[in-house]
A and B are shown apart, each in its own frame.
Chain A
Amino acid sequence: MVSEIYTHKNMSPNSFANDGSLSGKRVVIQPNMSVRGWLCDAGSLALKGFVALEDATTVTRMRNAGVELVGSSRMSELGFGLAGDTATRILSGGEADIALVTDTMGEARVAAAGSGIFGFKPSFGIVSRFGLVGLVPSMECYGILGKRLEDMIDTLSVISGKDKDDPSMPDEGFPDFTAARKPLKMPCTAGVVKECFDILQDRERKAFRTGLARLEEAGLTIREVNLSDFDLFRVVHNIVASVEASSSAGKYDGVRYGHRSSSGKNWNDMYLNSRGESFGSLIKTFLYQGAYFQFENYPAFENACRNRRRLVRAVVDLLGHVDLLVFPTMRLGHDAEKAATINHIYDAFLLTLPANVTGQPSLHVPSLALHSEVDIGVQLIGLRLEDPRLLSIGLKLSSTAQGGSAA
């Protein structure tokens, strides 16, 4: 069944296992996550009518753990940004406990921030991408949204871990998510990046300060740290992601599936017209940008890759001095859902994309960074594979938030 908020509504959501660790949990996914027999069009005409042939690894694992798959939401074209995404509406409507969304530049966290719920992006490479119709392989991952952090931790426990079908997962071991439920080891120091703080508007700063105060109340020590290359995150993400997107979308030719143009004198015309008619203007611009770096300005791409490595080193270095970094999640006056140009979209995700560039886990905690009813969110970033620790801090903070004065 198709509706305004679902691309596929599952009419028989009962799962195979009733005694699994996620038994009875209702999960909504996106139509770029393969479920055998479900429409899998990644929100794009380029995949119009494409039905998945087999289940994604995450789907198999969740079903085996007792999840009820509610359906798939609507999503932005190819998962780039949040335009048209309905995952949070389904959660707010109480129709699901957990939503999985593709997080390429912070989509899960920013969507969560807009709805007062938790959003988490796990470390790169700990959740299999097999069956995920992706766009930016080196940056994207399954992001998780939910009202209850406990549900999210249980889900992560199920979907993460080695998968023989995804050889791109690094062989570095996997976090043990049960550790997230254990009490946090104190003391704990959170670093605030000065270069990030400096670009915030006054209102954002005020809200963020409130959030930092709540962290201190919970027993964390706040320290200012420097990351002089902070402004590079945006440009590095833009160049690398657009190049990868251009490659990933190269397969959409409208021949075997997807929209196929009826006009054209020869196959070259057919390809050009089909692709021209399939992609929306935002993704088209992004792909075009990627092709520009591929064909016309390769040195800029190489430079971006070098800078990316430098940024990873710098952040790892900082996390040697503090236990985690803390940023606001979203910007005021930059509505991610309405972003219609590349610039607007990068403005809206400016604070979340660093974790996608470096592959680190990042958690958005709601209800802390409030100012005049506006919640810009507290975003925690930790070392790769230290996901349980971040979640454990999240649990501590949420109990503070629920019991605190902001509630």
Chain B
Amino acid sequence: MKYEAVIGLEIHVQLNSATKLFCDCPNRPGDEPNRNTCPICLWLPGALPQLSQEAFEKATLACLTLNCTIQPESAFDQKVYYYPDLPKGFQLSQHHKPLARNGWVDIMGEDGRNKRLRIHHIHMEEDVAKLVHETEGKTPISLVDFNRAGTPLIEIVSEADLRSPHEAMEYVKTLRSQLRYTGSAECSLEQGTLRVDANISLRPRGTDELNTKVEVKNMNSIRNVGDAIAYEIIRQTNCLEKGEPILLHTRLWDPEKRVTSPMRGKFSGPCIPDPSVPKIVVSNDWLKEMQGRLPEMPGQKKERFLREYGLTPEEASNMSFERDLSEFFEAVVKQDIPPRKIAGWMTTYLVPALRDRNQTIRETLLTAERFTRLLSMLEKDIINAHAAKEVMLQLLSSEETPEEIVEKGGFHQVSDTTELEAFIDRIIAEHPSVVEDFRKGNTKVMGFLMGLAMKASQGKANPKLLKEILTKRLNPKP
């Protein structure tokens, strides 16, 4: 392709502080409409904003984990525009003096090499109210729900360093993982607690022009971020090839039709320094304290897992990407189960099971202690892998102990050789031609016979013993 995409992302993240940004109302936008409101977030006459210390600290942790420099002085501005979702005719945001600048995240590029993507700045701002449009009889009415008005957001503005949909998706994934680690935000695209706006322009490959950009909004999953950008690159390429100009505007991604369509002209209102919210001055001591509160980050953790537990790089990545899972992993490691075995089990069985159930590890009943006992039974040959997988699935939602589940479900591994010999003899008798094949040198049929024998034992056979007996039977001593 003769064009190169220049992509910058603006990401809004809702902080999970207990209160709104400037008042003590609960930060729960989903409650019954207008339940979480007060004179401050409704901006009734005489109210004054009071910056929430918790929201400010969470914003700071988010900035630190994205390697930004917290500014010694930051301040709020009024972003002026008139719309029913803004109770005061302006939004409090940080335009002139953002909280933090100059950050970065490292991603794995398409060529498998590390690529550093720069963050221009991160600022705090308040969210706006939610509008609901309905009809009352035949009259259209617009309702305003102020629960969301004043809830705390940070906006993470990247440099235009991204070049492809892949990089955009990796950037969002990495950033989300980092932010979740700090415990400051939930970062769910699906639930709207992380919202991505992409600015996309094209230029002839090999130049460093900056052309008119188009903003694309409304992507509610990471895949949609990639798809919307890919679509927009093709759309702009077609425009350029037809000689049509690219106009500065905003487009909406339609996840059903998988296209972007124009929304409105890009409007940017003025930003006036706000005279009522005091400027934020940060001391070095306080900053040190905040740095001390940062947990070990996924990158550092991965290095440590490689070093301490002898995991492969892929296993180490998988085990460090999410904080809850990484802590779960380490808790099990401490119980003397081989680390690679745990990592293998978690990656192969546990993580897919969580994904199927759309749950996080915390939301299940599977604790590290229960998982450890399960794996110990596997280690001690009390159950086999097949049974262990079944037991694990039950442990996710059952309060019974692993032992009780094994007992009740009859998951005990069959290690009684007489019993196993009986299964094998029956299979050999039922499949003489296959046995014949094997004896003629087709050793591949071994797997087939093993499968049949395992099935005959209802999956409970000790596979090691089973194989031993089968091998013995198939190769009668001369």
Contacts and interface: CB of A to CB of B under 8 A. Distances in A.
A250 interface: yes
B46 A137 contact: no
A168 B275 contact: yes
B82 to A, nearest CB: 7
Given A137-B275, A167-B50, A167-B278, A251 B270 contact: no
B270 A298 contact: yes
A248 to B, nearest CB: 9
Given A247-B89, A267-B142, A138 B275 contact: yes
Contacts, number: 77
Of the four ranges (under 10, 10 to 19, 20 to 34, 35 or more), the interface on chain B belongs to 20 to 34
B72 interface: no
A165 interface: yes
Contact of B48 (A32, A40, A165, A250): A165
A174 interface: no
Interface in A275-332: 294-295, 298, 301, 305
A131 interface: yes
A243 interface: yes
Interface in B73-94: 78, 80, 82, 84, 87-90
B88 A250 contact: yes
B44 interface: yes
Interface in B275-289: 275-278
Contacts of A256: 42, 44
B478 interface: no
A246 B89 CA distance: 9
A103 B51 CA distance: 26
B270 A294 contact: yes
B39 A53 contact: yes
B450 interface: no
Nearest to A297: B270
A168 B272 contact: no
B269 A295 contact: yes
A120 interface: no
A294 B269 CA distance: 8
B46 A40 contact: yes
A133 B47 CA distance: 8
A315 B51 CA distance: 32
Contacts of A244: 272, 275
A397 interface: no
B192 interface: no
Interface string A165-188: 111101000000000000000000
18 contacts: A34-B45, A50-B45, A137-B275, A137-B276, A167-B48, A167-B278, A168-B277, A247-B78, A247-B89, A250-B80, A250-B82, A250-B90, A251-B43, A251-B87, A253-B84, A256-B42, A294-B270, A298-B270
* Top 7 closest pairs, chain A to chain B, by CB: A250-B89, A138-B275, A137-B275, A133-B45, A251-B88, A294-B270, A131-B46
